[in-house]
Each structure stands twice: as C-alpha cells, then as structure tokens.
Structure 1
Amino acid sequence: MSSTLLTQPPPTTVYQLSFPAPHVLLVTINREKARNAINMAGHVEGDAIFSWFDQEPSLRAAVVTGAGKKAFCAGADLIEQNTRASGGQTRQQQRQQPTVMPASGFAGLSRRQGKKPIVVAANGFALGGGFEICLNSDIVVAAPEARFGLPEVNVGLYAGAGGLSRIARSAGLQVASEVALTARHLTPQEAKEWGLINRIAKSQDSVVAEAVEMASLIASKSPDGIVISRAGVRQAFETASMERASQITEQQYGRSLRDGENFKIGLKAFAEKRAPQWVPSKL
C-alpha cells in the first residue's frame, strides 16, 4: 500500500506507520515501555502526521492504536514534565524540545478538526490524554481489557486537551463530573453505555483488526460523501442549533459535492448496478 502513496509521510520518533488495508493508515503509538505516554515531541509529530493524512490522496481513513497489550495511551509523559518543571534539562535540551501543544491538541488528535475519519483501537488503558484522543475520535473500538479515565486530578492537573468539554457534551453533566472529579476508571461496558465508545471487540488480540475492518468499510464509500458527512456530524456537535448546523454544512459543501466527480460516479454506478470506482476527494 505504501508504494501507492503520492506523498511521503513526515518523519516520526513516536509513532509507527503502516498500511493494513487499501486506503487505510494505521498509526501505532510506539512507546510501549512508557505505556505509550506521549512526550511533547509526540504532539508535534502527531499534528504533522494527521495533517499529511488529510492531504494524501490515496488515504481515506485512519486507525490509531498503542503498542503492546498494556496501554493504548496512558496520557502525557509526566516524567518528562517533571524533569522540565524541576529544572533537570539543559538549556540546549529546553530549546530543542517543543513547549506548546499544537492547536490540534494531544497527539495532534484531541482537538483536531481535520477532514478524514479516525477510528481508535483502544487496546488497553486510555487515560488522560489517551482518553481525550478517544473523546474526539470519530469511532472507538475497545478491547475488553481497555479502561478509560481522566486521572489528572490525582497529580495536580486537569484534562486540558479538550476532554472535559467533549465528555460533558457526549455523556452529560453528571457522568462527566463523576469521571473528571473522582478519576476513576471506566470499563468498556460503562463507556459504551454512556455513548463514549462504539463497540467492544471480541478480544484484545482482535481489536486492531476490527478497527481496521471498520476503517475499510468507511474507505469503500464515496470519499466526498465521507468528508462531508463527517463534517456535518461534527458541525451538529459544535453548533447549538441543529438547523443552523445543517445550513452551515450545505453552504460549505453542497455545491462542491454536486459539482464533483464522485457524485457523478456514484449515480452512474447505481444506475448501471455495479460497484463505483471512486476517485480521490478534492474537497
């Protein structure tokens, strides 16, 4: 699959990139010894990777998971933060390392708007920023062993990468308050009951494959239709008025969709009773 890429991905020290199915990118957080906690460099690298993903014509959906079986992502690299806060870094190290999270948030995902869908394969603990990634992703498939939580209050912090707003909007005031104020872990069953994840995988070993299957299903649909449908759902999530959200989506995308190639391809394939052969989205 990588041979069909029209552009090359940015360099990374934190993530492993692979292509498990046509038009699907798999991003693995590759810091297993640190329970896949993300250091400051990882936020910048993630932002670059997912910006590239949105622009790469051959890719239509992405899956994000963590290395190993213990954790999807245990949150921020608190060891790095402590070293920085205690003055344990040289001035050169401080200059070389980023100090500000990108606008797209934790790992370039927790506040990402983006264009193409992200499916999370939560293979283990998704805590702090790891849970904030899930809360802003389009679809979450969780292993039975996964656990979700916002433990920031245990270490004098708060979930500042967008998670508080999103869990309150998705699950309601009382659920969000319990999760944020008690720092307790949620089981996949609880997270699913409260609308925070989509499905529970058959096993930990199958969670990535099931997420890739979901991403492949998405990637088989009209690239234009997927981009606009995702934008419309997110517009409704962000906008107080449902009707206004519908108006904004139509104003931004309606004409481009109807003037685009995939609109014509889809209608012609339907009329001829055959599978459409989509082209890359130009939206």
Structure 2
Amino acid sequence: MNDEVIVSVEDGVMLVTLNRPKAKNSVNLAVAKGIAAAMEELDSNASIRCAIITGADNTFCAGMDLKAFVSGEMPFVEGRGFAGLVEAPPKKPLIAAIEGYALAGGFEIAITCDLIVAASNAKFGIPEVKRGLAAAAGGLMRLPRQIPTRVAKEMALTGEFIDAARGYDLGLINKVVEPGTALDAAKEMAKLIAANGPMAVIASKQVIDESQDWTVAEMYAEQQKIIEPIFSSHDAIEGATAFAEKRAPNWQGK
C-alpha cells in the first residue's frame, strides 16, 4: 500500500480511504495500484466480508488526475482498468461512502460499488465532455443500467451535476445522511452485511450482477449453477440450526 490509499480492517470490514486531499482525492497511477491491491486482499482474505471506499477531508473523488494525464500517466491497472477497480469489481460487496464531490472518474468508482451512502450535500456528475473527454470508465455503460437512459444521457451530454436527493429519487443512492456522517452510515450497513453468511452474500451479489445479461429462458438454470453450492454448504446447515437454537450463527465460509 501507499500513503495515498489508506487501508484498514476492523470486525471483518475493510476501509479504503483515498488520501490525496490537496488534489481532491483524484486518481493517479499510485492510487489505482493501491485500490487494486486492496481489492485483491478483500477477495483473497476470508476474514474480510465486505469493504467501504471513501475519500479523505470531506470529499470523495474528483476523478482522474488531469495533471498526471497531461504528463502521460494513465491511472489504469491491467485487468482492472481505471482506478484498479471499474473493469473488475471485487466478488465481495463494496460500499461507497460519499461526502462532497464524486465527479467524473470518482463518480464512476461510486457506481461500480454495490451500494452508495451519501451526505445530503454531495454532488455527482460525469462532466468529462466539458474537458473534451468522455466518461469511458463505466459512466457511459454502467450508469444507463442503474438509472433511466434519458437521465444518463442528460448527465453525459451536458456534464451537469445532480445532488444526493436527485440521486436517491433515481434509485442511484441507497441512503442519504447528514453531512459528515456518510462513513458512519456506511459502517452500519457493512456491519449488517458482515453478519450474514459469507458464501450466500457473494453468491447473491453474483446472481444480481450476472443476471442482467441472462435471458428469461436461461435465467433459472444459470442461477442454479451459482446457488446450488450454497444450499449444500456447511453454512446453510449452520444458519438453519442457529435459527432453531436462537443463537448467532458461526459462519465457516464453507
């Protein structure tokens, strides 16, 4: 890791903090590599159940570091894309905790996450067209799958921002909270996730993500391939037993 991406783990929840406040937490190559390393640790470490990504100093991320871009540096990691994340999100749940601005690549990081918690004064947008660029890190492809196409086009073609209330109304944001409390709210959400069966959580996320491309004719067969191991797992028996015995389950992840 590096000091531009701070990673910690507590009670099964990883916290990834973008730490370039003087540059509005914009993404350079070092940040991209730091995020990629964190995501690899998230998925490979069985003791970590989910992760939160946030930004230092009350702002999330202003996108790609344009000064670094002009100098020829590209904040991409092979196999993972921009920010070491957008082309290969983790298998485990990832929550964005947003204060301030989530713009351009920062917004694309946010919409790559599974859940978004945002402060009421947060702003979101893909203003790349204002700089002669395009939102190529998922904004033009992922966003229309999450909100109405015409709204996605409006954001992409005008480059104008939306606020947290509008994002919540569109179903883009899970929870809007008071300024300064987004991380606390995200931790509460992560705590709920971490308490659940780890195999079931991963499989549930996988089905939701992959089923977007399944036909009606194939969807149950494709789901079965992912879900079947869950029903024959140790954790499934443990979950049912714990319920009957009125105690907290002891998940083994197998």
CA deviation string 1:158-202 (max 9, x = no partner): 01111211111111221011000000010001111111111101x
1:260 is aligned, of 233, 236, 242, to: 233
Query: How many residue pairs align between the two structures?
Result: 254
After the TM superposition, list the runs of 4 or more consecutive aligned residues in structure 1 that deviate by more than 4 angstroms: 97-100
Query: Which residue, 133, 157, 168 being the options, matches 1:192?
Result: 168
1:30 — aligned with what? 19
Within 5 A, what are the aligned runs for 1:117-196? 117-196=93-172
Contact 2:7 2:38 in 1 (8 A): no
CA contact (8 A) 2:42 2:90 kept: no
What residue in structure 1 maps to residue 203 of structure 2?
Answer: 228
For the 8 Å contact 2:51–2:95, the answer to whether it is kept is: yes
RMSD: 1.7
Cα deviation code 1:123-179 (max 9, x no counterpart): 110001111111121100001121000010011110111121111111122101100
Shift of the 150–98 alpha-carbon distance from structure 1 to 2, 3 Å rule, reads closer
Which amino acid in structure 2 is aligned with residue 244 of structure 1?
E
Query: Structure 2: any 5+ residue segments left out of the alignment?
Result: none
Amino acid at match of 1:56: N
* Residues 246 and 13 of structure 1: CA distance in aligned 2, closer, same or farther (over 3 Å): farther
Structure 1: 5+ residue runs without aligned partners? 1-10, 85-96
Residues 107/211 of structure 1: CA separation in 2 closer, same or farther (3 Å cut): same
Counterpart selection for 2:8 from 5, 14, 18? 18
Q: Is the 8 A contact 1:235 1:249 kept in 2?
A: no
- State the partner residue of 1:49: 38
Q: Distance in 2 between matches of 1:103 and 1:156?
A: 26
Which residue is 1:72 aligned to? 60
Report if aligned partners of 1:141, 1:199 keep a CA contact under 8 Å in 2.
yes
CA contact 1:112–1:136 (8 Å) conserved in 2: no
Q: Which residue of structure 1 lines up, in the alignment, with residue 48 of structure 2? A: 59
Instruction: Please give the per-residue CA displacement for 1:193-236, whole angstroms capped at 9, x wherever unaligned.
Output: 111111101x2221100001000100001111101111111112
Q: Is the 8 A contact 1:74 1:127 kept in 2?
A: yes
On the 8 A contact 1:37/1:77 being kept in 2, the answer is yes
- 2:76·2:82 contact (CA, 8 Å) conserved in 1? no
TM-score norm. by structure 1 comes to 0.85
Aligned with 2:25: secondary structure? coil
Counterpart of 1:244? 218
Counterpart-to-counterpart distance in 1, 2:121 and 2:208: 29
Q: How big is the shift at 1:110? A: 2.2
- Percent sequence identity over matched residues? 36
The answer to whether the 8 A contact 1:232-1:246 is kept is: no
Question: TM-score with structure 2 length normalisation?
Answer: 0.94
Contact 1:231 1:249 in 2 (8 A): no
